[in-house]
Amino acid sequence: MINKISKTIHNKFSRFFRFIFFLRYLFGLFLASIILFLLIPYFFDYEKRSEIFKKYLEENYNLKISKYEKIEFKALPIPKIEFKKVLINFDQSPIELNTNKLTIYPKFFNIYNSKNFQSKKIALFGNNITLETVDLKFLIKNLITQKNKLYFNNLNIEINNRKKLLAKIKNIKFENFGHNKNKLEGYIFGKKFKTELNKNLTIINFKLLNTGVNFEINLDEKKTKNSTKGTLKSKVLNTHFKSNFDYNEKLLSINNSLFRSKNLTFNNNSILILNPFFDISSNSEILHINTKVFKNLEIKKLLEFKNFFKQINIKKKVNYSSKKFNQNLIDKLDLKIELAYGRLNYFKKISISDNLFICFGNINLLEEFPLIFFDCSIKSKSKQDLLKKFNINEKKTNKNFNLSINGNINILNDKINFKKIIMNESYKASKEDLKYFEDKFEEIMFDESFIKIFNLKKIKRFIIEIS
């Protein structure tokens, strides 16, 4: 019975089994062909073929290989051609890219096609670039906006301004295809960041992770060759900033900007000249300010940036007008600041009701113990009304009050030196008087730190003490 069943199966399905056995040999032949297809390229002389690959990279990616240590073929996990220890140049730019490994992934049948070589993508591993700020736009244009498939792993960029370091961006990962298309991540200032770009590369979203820092840039699609325009919105913790900008290689113009936080709100217009020298011209209008923000300002830490002060020139104007129903001491403030080669000149005019305070002077921020030189005057139609602003009752009759003070302050040692004090042209302080005023000022006003001398209670106490 069993024999009959076996013969029946054999007769009816013999062709099927023969086909299955045939496929076994066909599969084996196919597998052997694939193995040979991948192994034979190991015997090619890639040094002779290197010019083909170099030409392809230059024509399709604008990557010109100047030097390399070694070139080889690898079949697994997928076929690829690798250049080791590569120096890459770009046409029309002095930028040099040092790469540990440049990998070309050829289209499958292009492994053997030298004349019409094409690749699916290229990848660069362990990369270092040093460039000037003027070359940054060129780099973005040739890498970020690259149409052919490109992947960077561990890209380090050092950005300089006239050979002086501005920033280092490390461990950048970027690809312009696939699931992570137009996404960058890396480290800047020791913090990890992530950046996303839209399809047209006109919207840039940047996040500095775990810091509360993020911003969005919207670029104007109608940009010119020499200019990039757009808008910037940023958030840093609880502060918000938005602005229009216009950038070219020589200057950055910031217009209609608004900074807003709990303690400070102001609008601003600035022009930053980038070449040939770094120069800033800025006008600001303070809309709201809480003077308590100055309490956390540390002068000593600020003066640690001496090298920065050497390199920049600043012209700054600040205006403030108190709102009608605010009970602020100051009604109006006009402040002008000029910084060049570390020397800061200032002029400020403060209006309190009908009383005018004018002060000008300078400070050399590069000195070991900087001195603020000041020449100040107070002009008031009524001494009695002026003192009322400081909650001091003056029993004497109203009369004009004019005061001139000249001297300097050592902001690190909390010392003051009065050179001249004249009141109403009828009183000129003697040396003994000047010494007395200095002692009382240091005792009352410098009991904490320099920045905390702008305290209404202290000013009131000092005035009462010397009256």
Spatial CA neighbour of 358 closest among 381, 389, 336:
336
What pLDDT is attached to residue 324?
62
Residues 104-127 pLDDT 10s: 998 876 776 667 888 889 999 999
Instruction: Give CA–CA dist 287/285, Å, rounded.
Output: 6
pTM of the model: 0.69
What pLDDT is attached to residue 437?
87
DSSP state of 42: G
Q: How far apart are the first and last CA of the chain?
A: 133
Quick check: helix, strand or coil at residue 37? helix
Per-domain boundaries in the chain: 48-211, 293-299+321-466
Residues 348-404 pLDDT 10s: 998 887 788 899 999 999 998 899 999 998 888 877 777 777 777 766 656 788 889
Spatial CA neighbour of 37 closest among 112, 135, 100, 97:
112
Greater model confidence, 149 or 200? 149
What pLDDT is attached to residue 12?
52
Greater model confidence, 33 or 95? 95
Phi first, then psi, for residue 141 (nearest 5°) are: -65, -40
